[in-house]
Amino acid sequence: MKHIPRKRFGQHFLSDGGIIDAIVSAIAPQPGQPMVEIGPGLAALTQPLVERLGRLTVIELDRDLALRLRLHGQLEVIESDVLKVDFTQLARDMHVARLRVVGNLPYNISTPILFHLLDHVQVIEDQHFMLQKEVIDRMVAAPATADYGRLSVMLQWRYAMENVLFVPPESFDPPPRVDSAVVRMVPWAEPVAVPPALLSELVQVAFSQRRKLLRHTLGRWLEGRGFGGTFDTQRRAEEVPVQEYVALAFSLHQKA
């Protein structure tokens, strides 16, 4: 029976064989590697992955699709909202130190999924995700560009990131109204240790009025925290590199 894509789950199923091959090539799965696929859908990416891996764990929210996937002998199916999956515990359950995570993420909740995985980055080997191209442009953006913002800073603090593949709308059924792309995210081996909540608040304040100089936003926020160090607030938020935001958060954390 043909599966009807469900709007509430943001379902757009990959159907272009050439694009599927290119994505699998970028992921480069090897036999026996512990991999988790988010939102396998109709298994367009799942099948070529499991053929190379031998076994694959998949997370699927749609009950009908999960039922189909359970009929596949090489898949471990977790029927759940991915935002409720504890990836750290999942790695323990699979008896591995790190997981490779892949998926065609639902565009309507892609950013919450990225931040959810950020909480479990210590058990992540790498991540390959297909997302709305506009989101990936923000994820990989360099300072002093229009796309550079909170998402850029928070993710680049913990990952080396690369936009590896453009995916046009006609590669899907049904076609989305936006362009897509595939991003590779590899956790840094030794990131600066700062509380994520502190960095997140700091960056959110900085970009709250991105057209104004930082002295109007972040400067006042720093004064309120009694910050006595040096930080140039005569710049706009988009002009400050990731490393400077992280260093500032580290300095605040050290003095707390």
* Residues in the annotated binding site for S-adenosyl-L-methionine: 12, 14, 39, 60, 81, 104
Strand partners, 99: 124
DSSP character string of the chain = -PPPPPGGGT--EE--HHHHHHHHHHH---TT--EEEE--TTSTTHHHHHHHHS-EEEEE--HHHHHHHTTSTTEEEEES-GGG--HHHHHHHTT-S-EEEEEE--GGGHHHHHHHHHTTGGGEEEEEEEEEHHHHHHHSPPTTSTT-SHHHHHHHHHEEEEEEEEE-GGGEESPPSS-EEEEEEEE-SS-----HHHHHHHHHHHTTTTTSBGGGTHHHHHHHTT--S----SSBGGGS-HHHHHHHHHHHHHH-
Count of other CB atoms within 10 angstroms of residue 4? 9
Task: Find out whether 26 and 165 touch, Cβ atoms under 8 Å.
Answer: yes
What residues form the annotated binding site? 12, 14, 39, 60, 81, 104
C-alpha span between 129 and 103 (Å, rounded) = 5
